[in-house]
Amino acid sequence: MNPSNPPQAAEYGGDEVSAIVLDPGYSTTRAGFAGEDAPKSLIPTYYGKYNADGQEKLVFGDDIFVTPRPGLSIYNPIGKDGIVEDWDMAEKVWEHSFISRLTGTRAGNPFQNGLNDVSADELPTEMEVESEEKPLSDSPLLMTEPGWNPAKAREKTIEIAMEKWDTPAFYLARTGVLAAFASGKASALVIDIGASNISVTPIHDGMILKRGVQHSPLGGDYISSQIKAIFKANSPQPITITPHYLISSKSAVEAGQPPQVKYKTFPADKAPDASYRALLEERTLSEFKECVVQVWPGPTRLSAPSPTGVSNEDMARTTPGRPFEFPDGYNQVFGVDRFRAVESLFDAKAAIPDPDSAFPPPTPAQTIPELVKASLAGVDVDLRPHLLANVVVTGGSSLLYGFTDRLNHELMQMFPGPRVRVTAPGNTSERRFGSWIGGSILASLGTFHQMWISKKEYEEHGPNIVEKRCK
């Protein structure tokens, strides 16, 4: 290769566009290009609103965790059951998720993007009319939805994709199906432990078995409320979480001693409101869940006596506690309490009562074992052994330490006959983004091309086409 030789003239002439996969959850929204192994963009579904200079301003993305703003309040466009409530804002949050890291604001007029040599007089003058470019006009879009998404919400979703974002092709897939694909299974029983919901979805040959879909609100947020109940009843003193933004500096204190801390004060009209504080408390709680909380490994429940005759709870007391330090410097060792926070996911009676909690006490039917039972009851008896041999665990809250062990025990006790096999990806990001990864696989398959709903078909049949095509 001689440096003075001009390069060959051959140039790229193709037009390869990879689809965008958008996986909107209650707590986070994931977006990325199909074919990649993790979403490039991960933003909170929460957004902030505040007033500055007499104007209402919206904040999206991680910024809400980092920068406190005057009078900031936090909202979530998605309801507790995982179904969109505020469509206008959901559209904005979703749009932010792919604009910020993937598509950018459109580069705009191809005549002016510097790639084309167009002489000045050739430039069409009316190009300004088209300045309002839509964000997805050249990327197909695959979106996900929970298994219990109502038909209305599905139609609204395709409407946004086609009309507001101008996507040339669209598909809507169930999170459960995709999570099964991510584990390389076409048939599976998917147990998804999310932030606002836990769900059990039976999948057969890539199709969702609708009658078997079960969900309940005992997700990560519920666990947070249980932890708060523990903090409230803590001895020697109840623990309050003061998020970092309210603390100016702290000094080290001994375990169990009251914190020595300098607080920050905001003028009353400027202080962020309670929803902001709750959001940041949740940050500390998720750190607590990562560091301290543990699922009682079983095989029997925490309240049950162990085979040795000592109760499991006493057994748990003998295990060493784990220390945790709060943002204000207060620190303490947590012993048996760290098992109790999640026990009610398996045993409704073990729930820690807290009259102030936003969550009503769980019913037995809402626990994971009962959901699985109900789900299997809704599917054909011949399919059950196959499903139990292919249990897939996904969702961020399933990363709680010891969760899969316990689940395994519970399932084996409940279904002693058939072989139970629990699959849980070891990699944190595969667990958290299971449905996104499944979508990434699906949308990059060559055979998937025929599944897309094209813009033309949408225009012919209207939003109802999603009911016919995305089953």
Partner 1 sequence: MGRKSNQRKSSGARSHHSSQRSSLPLITMPPFKDEHILLIAPGSQMTLAQLGLPETFTPARFRFPTRMFPAEKKGEYEPYRVLERRQEVKVNNGTDTKPDVEMKDAESAADGTTVKTDENTQNNDESTKTIEEVFYEEDLASDEGAIYPIENGRIVDWPCFFALLTHIHNTLSPPFHTPIMLVGQPVWSARDREAITQFVFEKFKAPAFSLMDSALAACYGYGTPTATVVDVGKGKVDVTAVTDFAVNEHGRGIALEGCGGDAMTDRLVELLGPKGFTREMCEQLKRSNITEILPPGTPLPGSSATARQGANPAAVASTGGSEGDESAPRGPGDGTQTGIEGDNGDDDEGVLDVAAIVSGNPTEYLANVEKEKTTTKKGAADPKGTRLPNSKKEKASFQFEEFVPVEGEKAAAHGARQYTRRTRDIEVSVERFLLTSPRSKVGNRLTSGILEDIATQIHHTILAVPDATKRSELWDSLIIVGCGSKVKGFTQALLAVITQKFILSPSGTIFTSEIPSNFTTPLPTGANTPAPGQMYHPSAAGVNPLLVAATHNNPGMPGTPSMDPGMLSHYRSTGHSQTPTSVKTLKLPEYFPDFKDQGNSNAPGASGGSAGGNPGASGTSQGGHGIEEAIFLGAQMAAKVFFVIDQGLSKGYMSRVEYNESGPSAIHEYIL
According to CB under 8 A, which residues from 302 to 341 bind partner 1? 306-308, 310, 312, 315, 317-325, 329, 331, 333, 335
Min dist CB 327 to partner 1, Å, is 8
Burial of 268 (C-beta count, 10 Å sphere; 0-12/13-18/19+): exposed
Q: Of residues 134, 152, 211, 270, which one binds partner 1 by CB under 8 A?
A: 270
**Alpha carbons 24 and 103: distance in angstroms, whole number:** 17
Q: Please identify, using beta-carbon distances, which residue of 2 and 450 lies nearer to partner 1.
A: 2
**What track of x and - describes contact with partner 1 for positions 279 through 298 (by CB under 8 A)?**
----x---x-xxx-xx--xx
| Interface residue with partner 1, options 83, 153, 253, 414 (CB under 8 A) | 253
Q: How far is the CB of 274 from partner 1 (least distance, A)?
A: 15
- The span from the CA of 426 to the CA of 416, in Å, is 26
Interaction residues for partner 1, span 55-84 (CB under 8 A)? 57, 62, 65-70
For partner 1, the binding residue among 210, 232, 264, 469 (CB under 8 A) is 264
Q: How many residues does the chain have?
A: 471
User: What is the rounded CA–CA span in Å between residue 161 and residue 171?
Assistant: 10
Size of the site for partner 1 (CB under 8 A): 108
Residues 389-408 as x/- pattern, contact with partner 1 by CB under 8 A: ----------xxxx-xx--x
Closest to partner 1 by CB, 255 or 274: 255
Instruction: State in angstroms the smallest separation of the CB of 331 from partner 1.
Output: 3
Smallest gap from residue 157 Cβ to partner 1 (A): 23
Q: Tell me whether residue 36 or residue 163 sits nearer to partner 1 (CB atom).
A: 36
Return the number of the residue (41 or 149) whose C-beta is nearest partner 1. 41
In the complex, least distance from residue 57 CB atom to partner 1, rounded to whole angstroms: 7
Considering the complex, state which of residue 333 and residue 414 has its C-beta at the smaller distance from partner 1.
Answer: 333
Site string for partner 1, 418-447 (x = CB under 8 A): ------xxxxxx-xx---------------
Distance (Å, whole) CA 108 – CA 132: 9
**For partner 1, the closer CB: 357 or 423:** 423
Interatomic CA distance for residues 25 and 218, integer angstroms: 15
The residue range among 100-108, 155-163, 364-372, 460-468 that interacts with partner 1, by the rule CB under 8 A, is 100-108
Which is nearer to partner 1, 20 or 158 (by Cβ)?
A: 20
By C-beta, is 357 or 429 nearer to partner 1? 429
If one asks whether residue 50 binds partner 1 (CB under 8 A), the answer comes out as: yes
| Long-range Cβ pairs for the range 360-368 (8 Å, 24+) | 362/216, 362/218, 362/222, 365/216, 366/216, 366/217, 366/218, 367/216, 367/218, 368/191, 368/198, 368/200, 368/218, 368/407, 368/410
CB of 92 to partner 1, least distance (A): 17
Q: Which stretch binds partner 1 (CB under 8 A): 142-150, 270-278, 375-383, 450-458?
A: 270-278
Residues paired with 49 in a beta bridge: 58, 73
- Residue 208 or 443: the one with the smaller Cβ distance to partner 1 is 443
Comparison of 33 and 47: residue with beta carbon closer to partner 1: 33
**How many whole angstroms separate alpha carbon 456 and alpha carbon 145?**
23
234 binds partner 1 (CB under 8 A): no
Binding-site member from 96, 340, 409, 455 for partner 1 (CB under 8 A): 409
What is the distance between the alpha carbons of residues 441 and 178, in angstroms, rounded to a whole number? Answer: 9
Q: Contact region for partner 1 (CB under 8 A) — 51-59, 184-192, 361-369, 463-471? A: 51-59
For residue 322, give every residue at least 6 positions away whose Cβ sits within 8 Å of its Cβ, in sequence order, or none.
Answer: 291, 292, 294, 333, 334, 338
Stretch that binds partner 1, among 82-90, 154-162, 213-221, 243-251 (CB under 8 A): 243-251
Tokens of 356: 């102030």
Tokens representing 48 are 């902030």
Burial zone of 155 (CB within 10 Å; 0-12 exposed, 13-18 middle, 19+ buried): middle
Residues 1 to 20 in contact with partner 1, rule: CB under 8 A: 1-8, 10-12, 14-18
73/357 with CB nearer partner 1: 73
Torsions phi, psi of 442, nearest 5? -60, -50
To the nearest whole angstrom, how small is the minimum distance from the Cβ of residue 322 to partner 1? 7
- Per-residue contact flags (x/-) with partner 1 for residues 112 to 131, judged by CB under 8 A: xxxx----x--x--------
